[in-house]
Amino acid sequence: MMATTHVFAGLAVVAPVAALEPALAVPLAVGAIVGGLAPDFDLVLEHRRTFHFPASGSLLALPALAIAVLSPSTLTAGVAAFALTAWLHAASDALGGGPEMDPWNDASERAVYDHVRGTWIRPRRWIRYDGAPEDAALAVALAIPALLVFDGWIRTVVAGSVALSLGYALLRRRLVEWTPEWLE
């Protein structure tokens, strides 16, 4: 899945809370955006492993959620949104394909690393690869709650990210031809 799909998933989760508690809208959105992107910073390390915690992520996300519910504040809401979205990102990576650039030629059986069991989780390929047409459709659907609930710069960022995701999905297969060998 695209990084933006993960961000929109997190925003869709926090959007109903932001609608009920507009004072927490900004920390919830910032937490979801950063939490959606953060796991993929391991692209330069061991991708889908170093910062991806599909199982143990819950050990941070669930207590953070409980603290935010018991004691809602800018800080607790932001941390809970971050932890939940980062966990959702890692867990849902298993529903997509592997991290390879051209899964239609070279499919890997490693979707995301399960640090608890010490094995790679195999890709389910409900979303065949990041930027696939079904990924673009999912991204647009998940962005709708955020577009309805958030306003100001958050809505601008979401709308811009939807445009970026659609552009990426349109060019996805051609990008592989343009990518130099050493980057793959």
* Residues near Zn ion, by CB under 5 A: 39-40, 93
Closest CB to Zn ion among 78 and 97?
97
In sequence order, the 6+-apart residues with CB closer than 8 A to the CB of 16 are 145, 149
CA distance 7 to 143: 9
Residue 37 beta carbon to Zn ion: minimum distance, rounded to whole angstroms = 9
- Which one, 31 or 99, has the nearer CB to Zn ion? 99
- State the minimum distance, in angstroms, from the CB of residue 88 to Zn ion: 11
Judged by beta carbon, residue 130 or residue 154, the one nearer Zn ion is: 130
Least Cβ distance, residue 89 to Zn ion (angstroms): 6
Nearest distance from C-beta of residue 154 to Zn ion, angstroms: 22
Supply the DSSP symbol for 55. T
**Whole-angstrom Cα distance, residue 20 to residue 22?**
6
User: Which CB sits closer to Zn ion, 40 or 135?
Assistant: 40
- 85 by DSSP, 3-state: which? helix
For residues 135 and 138, give the distance between their C-alpha atoms in angstroms, rounded to a whole number. 5
- Radius of gyration from C-alpha coordinates of the chain: 16
